[in-house]
Structure 1
């Protein structure tokens, strides 16, 4: 039986025309039922079983209010019950330091980024072994380099990213209740998001995040 993933994407800076073609490479249609939307609230309003939510944006379209702490807590409850979640690139934005999404769920949040697209080297951390890193040797791509605050006491650091300015967190993962959480920073450009290594990284993360809650 296919797994169900809600992919939250499409805003002014991260349009679906850039994201959707790469998403089609990540999820095999024989294994996944892919629901594409620009609203995180669609997950909260859905009564169906959802195996994975993948956030490429904050999921708050123009005209809607920010996701409240109460709504974040409702989302976290679904994760604790076994839903996996991936925060990719702009999905890390608008997470405040005192918010449930940072303190109880993702352990990472966006602080800033490079002013231009720059070469970013994304590599696994030495001597770190994790299913998400299977087959990942690292890749370099022109990208918008994200700088994130990550609570390293509550997550497992997997990868680092380096540009001419700084070395920063690239990918991390941990469990929350029965659910699994993944954060990763690359993916603003087609060159980065569509890099074969990035596709494998997202596939590995999606499979790991749903590895124990689907039969």
Structure 2
């Protein structure tokens, strides 16, 4: 039986069509039943997927006043899916951004806080030896990327760092959460960088671990 993955996409700076071309490289159609949506409310505890992947900023459009879509009701749904229904959760790049420091997702689920990012620049990735990074080589993205400045907020395992002229930052971390598993990954602003071969290998490794 195929595993079900719900992929959340679509905000002002990261449109859906910049992400969907790489999904086929991450999710083998023989193993995964992939649903792509721009609507967070498509995540349901009653029909919880095996995996939930968010590429969507919690502020869909920061050019105009827009409320966070991860309100208390939605956050409770996410919490239930992971903690009780064993849904794996992977937050990629903008899926980590703009969540308030005191938000339940920041403190309890992701256990990391996005501070800011400087102007796009050359960014490299340095893996730390772990079950998720075995065989993954250090690499530099072929295009400038947003070098996220992060603060780890709780008990997790940092297994990779992003490096640029702006310093060295946590880039990948993972932990168990109730019955489920959580991974945060900061690089990947553009389609070109999402498609980096070693980065795709990392994404495949993380999604597989979350649903193992």
TM-score using structure 2 length: 0.90
With 169-178 and 65-74 compared, the bigger mean Cα shift is at 65-74
Compare 163-172 and 72-81 and name the one that shifted more: 72-81
Aligned match of 1:148: 150
Structure 2 gap segments, 5+ residues each: none
Would you say how many aligned residue pairs link Structure 1 and Structure 2? 205
- Over 3 Å counting, the alpha-carbon distance change for 1:68 and 1:17 in structure 2 is same
Q: 1:69, CA displacement in angstroms?
A: 2.8
In structure 2, do the counterparts of structure 1 residues 43 and 59 end up closer, same or farther at CA, with 3 Å as the change threshold? farther
1:129/1:29 CA distance change after superposition, 3 Å = same
Maintained 8 Å contact 2:40/2:69: no
State the match for 1:80 in structure 2: 83
Residue 71 of structure 2 aligns with which residue?
A: 68
Q: Is the 8 A contact 2:58 2:97 kept in 1?
A: no
State the alpha-carbon separation in 2 of the partners of residues 145 and 105 from structure 1.
22
Match of 2:27 in 1: 27
Question: Match for residue 121 of structure 2?
Answer: 118
Output the CA distance in 1 between the equivalents of 2:39 and 2:191: 22
In the TM superposition, what whole-angstrom CA distance separates every residue of 1:61-106 from its partner, at most 9, and x where no partner exists?
5677521134212211110121100010000013212111011111
Q: Which runs of 4+ in 1 moved over 2 A?
A: 46-49, 58-66
Unpaired stretches in structure 1, ≥5 consecutive residues: none
